[in-house]
C-alpha cells in the first residue's frame, strides 16, 4: 500500500506551497528517495539546499535527515498521510563557492549542500564530509577531519577524490547512511596524489 505524502514548502512572505504525492511502501523509509521526489516536485529546490521536518504531538517541527529519523517520523503518521515541512537553506555564496574547486558527488553532512574549495572528510566515520563553512562552525568536532583540496586524482569528474567510485552519501545515494571504520587506517597529513588516504573515497 502506498504512503500519501503532503509536502509543505514554507515560504514567507509568498505563502506556503503545498503538494501531495504517493510513495511506494518499499521506499517509504528511504530519506534519499523522499528528498529526490520533493526536489523534483518543487523546481525551486533544485539547488538541493533544503531541510525536512515533521511535527510531533506538541506541534513542534522536528528535523530529520536520515533513514532512521524518517522511520521514527513515520510512527507519528495520522490517517495515512505523512506531512513533511520543507525549509530552504539560504546561504550567500562565499569565496569558496565563487572561486573554489567543486567536488563532484560530494555533499556536506552539515548543511547538505555542495562542497567547494576544501572538503573535510572524517577519519573515523564512513562517508561523512563537511564544507568549509560547517567546519568553521565546529560541526563534528569530536573526530579529526582530513582536508582534501582536489576532488579527483586521476579519473575525472564523477569519481571520488582519488579516482575511486563516487562517494556513497548525499541526497542522491539510495540507501541508509552508515557509520564505520575505514580499513587500513587513515592517512594523516595532506592527500597524496593518486593514493586515497582512506583506502577508498
Q: What are phi and psi of 98, to 5 degrees?
A: -80, -35
One fold for 3-88 and 93-201 = no
**What is the pLDDT of the chain when averaged over all its residues?**
76
Q: What are phi and psi of 164, to 5 degrees?
A: -80, -175
Of 189, 110, 112, which Cα lies nearest the Cα of 149?
189
- 172/107 Cα distance (integer angstroms): 9
> 107-125 burial, b for 16+ CB within 10 Å, e for fewer?
bbbbbbbbbbbbbbbbbeb
CATH of domain 93-201: 3.30.60.90
CATH of 3-88, one of 3.30.1950.10, 3.40.50.300, 3.10.20.90, 1.10.1450.10: 3.10.20.90
Domain boundary assignment for the chain: 3-88, 93-201
Residue 180 pLDDT: 43
| Tens of pLDDT, residues 82-97 | 999 999 876 555 555 5
- Please tell me whether the overall predicted TM-score, pTM, comes out greater than 0.75 for this model: no
Amino acid at each position: 500500500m502506498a504512503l500519501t505524502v503532503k509536502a509543505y514548502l514554507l515560504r514567507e512572505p509568498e505563502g506556503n506551497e503545498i503538494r501531495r504525492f504517493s510513495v511506494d511502501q518499499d521506499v517509504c523509509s528511504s530519506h534519499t528517495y523522499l528528498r529526490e521526489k520533493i526536489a523534483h516536485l518543487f523546481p525551486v529546490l533544485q539547488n538541493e539546499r533544503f531541510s525536512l521536518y515533521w511535527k510531533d504531538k506538541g506541534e513542534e517541527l522536528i528535523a530529520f535527515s536520515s533513514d532512521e529519523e524518517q522511520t521514527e517520523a513515520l510512527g507519528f503518521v495520522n490517517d495515512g498521510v505523512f506531512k513533511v515541512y520543507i525549509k530552504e537553506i539560504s546561504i550567500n555564496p562565499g569565496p569558496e563557492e565563487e572561486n573554489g574547486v567543486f567536488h563532484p558527488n560530494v555533499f556536506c553532512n552539515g548543511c547538505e549542500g555542495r562542497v567547494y574549495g576544501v572538503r573535510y572528510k572524517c577519519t573515523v566515520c564512513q562517508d561523512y564530509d563537511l564544507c568549509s563553512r560547517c567546519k568553521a562552525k565546529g560541526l563534528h568536532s569530536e573526530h579529526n577531519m582530513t582536508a582534501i583540496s582536489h576532488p579527483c586524482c586521476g579519473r575525472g569528474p564523477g569519481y571520488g577524490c582519488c579516482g575511486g567510485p563516487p562517494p556513497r552519501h548525499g541526497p542522491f545515494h539510495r540507501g541508509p547512511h552508515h557509520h564505520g571504520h575505514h580499513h587500513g587506517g587513515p592517512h594523516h597529513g595532506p592527500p597524496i596524489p593518486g593514493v586515497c588516504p582512506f583506502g577508498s573515497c
